[in-house]
Amino acid sequence: MYKLNLDSKATKLSNGLNVITIKKDTQLASINVGVKAGSLNEGVNEKGVAHFIEHMLFKGTKTRDNKTLNDQLEFLGGEYNAYTDFCSTVYSVTCLQEEIEKAIELLGDMVIESTFDKDELEKERGVILAEIKTSKDDIEDLSFKRINEIAFEYSPLRYEISGDEESVSRFTKDDLLSFYKKFYTPENTTITIVSSYDHEEAISIISKFFGVWNGTLNHRDKIEFEKNKEVTVTTYKRDIELSTITYLYTLDNIDKDEELALKILNHKFGESANSILFRELREERGLAYDIYTNLDLGNDIRTLYIFTSVEDENIEEALDAINDCIEKIKTEEIPFPKSTIELMKKVHKTAVVSTLDDSSELSNYVLNQVLEEEPIDEFIHDMERLNHIENVDLYDIARKVFNNPTIHILRSDADKEAEDIDE
């Protein structure tokens, strides 16, 4: 049995804050503060508010203005960052062990005491609007945006995490504070810290700066799952060099026991640098520079995407090639020998060791496991379960997953620009 050498401890503070401390012999410490609130939690008139709040927490607190806060974060000498996704908002710092207490102080000040200054809000509104406009120039981002709009009628997945120009343009300070007060509470937040501190010392420092935080999560709307539409849609954009092809499958019918087989299949099918799709479209046919899949098996988002970009005249051949690969897997014409499973054991073990060795990756991994309400040692169970996966499991899951996709094709055609669903 593969052993996990992870000295971790879960503690719940008196205010409800969930803290996972990980003691590691390291000079590089890392802390993540994860609030279980992302774009899936937004109402129809709140699109982009979670992302806006993430930006505003760097814009000043009751004791530090924008410049002072960011100067002190920079003076830690490490890396500080934040991101908003569909399910959560995360603030992180990785720095030398001797700087981690200051990092905890600054993160506590940001999360608890941000002022949402109106002048800073107006400045940041312009920044976010520029971010939204920039994403329209990235055909990869635009392709994913459009397929989600096509695939779903009511799911929050059809909306961009950053929101749209209309919603971001009208948000007020009260709008941001309303969402902030609802979701930014200690019991809706998890902190993970990887450091050389003993557990008691780490908890003592976190309690010092986060223990005064209060607030209660009164209500959380249930996230409704929506299956993707089975449809193929072409949209257009001026002045793009390559056309794109995107597939989307939703995975509402996959149970926990089937997830590992799907992960293995996905790696071999489109995730690795030597995948089935890569070999067929690039190496054999010379149609695309790159093609990849993206698999999400979270509690609220369960999707599989295929993405590539090709010359306009090669669209039909590329579609045929992708469909042919899928069909040959489903009919077992593409072999999955025992070496496929052995390869995945190596890939998985490499990922585990890499995560354990890197304080930042370890802190982020543990945070995401906790936010998804999954065990932090799940990768060890996966290592053991790999011994029981056979090639028939890969074929079975392929036949279950690869059905009824949404397909979006983005092409260049100035005359049809008016038909764009986005512009």
Please spell the DSSP secondary structure of 267-323, one letter per residue. Answer: IIIIISTT-HHHIIIIIIT--EEEEEEEEEE-SS-EEEEEEEEE-GGGHHHHHHHHH
Q: Cα–chain-centroid distance for residue 246?
A: 18
Q: What is the pLDDT of residue 420?
A: 47
Output the pLDDT for position 1: 43
Per-residue tokens: 83: 């991101």
Looking at residue 3, what is its pLDDT? 56
pLDDT in the model for residue 185: 97
What are the tens digits of pLDDT across the range 313-359?
Answer: 999 999 999 999 999 999 999 999 888 888 888 888 888 888 889 99
Closest by CA position to 156, among listed 250, 278, 47, 236: 47
Q: CA–CA separation, 88 vs 57, rounded Å? A: 15
- Taking residues 28-48, what's their average pLDDT? 95
The 10s digit of each residue's pLDDT in 98-124 is 999 999 999 999 999 999 999 999 999
Tokens of 317: 């051949």
Structure confidence at residue 306 as a pLDDT band (50, 70, 90): very high
Report the DSSP pairing between strands 302-310 and 288-297: antiparallel
pLDDT over 90 (residue 87): yes
User: Length of the chain, please?
Assistant: 423
Tell me what the mean pLDDT of segment 88-94 comes to: 98
Distance CA 26, CA 91 (A): 21
> What is the average pLDDT score of the chain?
92
Q: Which of 96-100, 146-150, 290-294, 297-301 is the least confident region?
A: 297-301
Confidence at 9, pLDDT banded by 50, 70, 90: very high
- Whether the CB-CB separation of 178 and 80 falls below 8 Å is answered with no
Domain 7-210 and domain 231-419, same fold? Reply is yes
Task: Determine the residue type at 249.
Answer: Y
Of the chain, the end-to-end C-alpha distance in Å amounts to 55
Can you give the pLDDT at residue 4?
61
Q: Is it the case that residue 308 has pLDDT exceeding 60?
A: yes
Percentage of residues in the chain having pLDDT higher than 70: 96
Is the distance from CB of 44 to CB of 215 less than 8 angstroms? no
Q: Which of 17, 91, 54, 33 is nearest to 179 (CA)?
A: 54
Which position has the token pair 């007060």?
181
Tell me the H-state helices in 75-138.
Answer: 100-113, 118-137
User: What is the reported pLDDT for 340?
Assistant: 85
Q: How far is it, in rounded angstroms, from Cα 206 to Cα 203?
A: 5
Describe the chain by its helix, strand, coil percentages, rounded to 5: 50, 20, 30
Domain range list for the chain: 7-210, 231-419
The CATH number corresponding to 231-419 among 1.20.1050.10, 3.40.50.300, 3.30.70.260, 3.30.830.10 equals 3.30.830.10
Q: Per-residue pLDDT averaged across 282-293, rounded?
A: 96
What integer is the mean pLDDT of 393-404?
96
Token readout for 279 is: 């070999």
Q: Tens digit of pLDDT for each residue in 131-156? A: 999 888 899 999 999 999 999 998 98
- Superfamily of domain covering 7-210: Metalloenzyme, LuxS/M16 peptidase-like (3.30.830.10)
The verdict on pTM exceeding 0.85 is yes
318, two tokens: 């590329």
Confidence at 255, pLDDT banded by 50, 70, 90: confident
CA-based R_g, the chain, Å: 23
Handedness of CA 337, 339, 341, 347 (dihedral sign): negative
In terms of average pLDDT, the best of 133-142, 217-226, 409-418 is 133-142
pLDDT at 81 over 90: yes
Q: Which whole number is the average pLDDT over 231-235?
A: 97
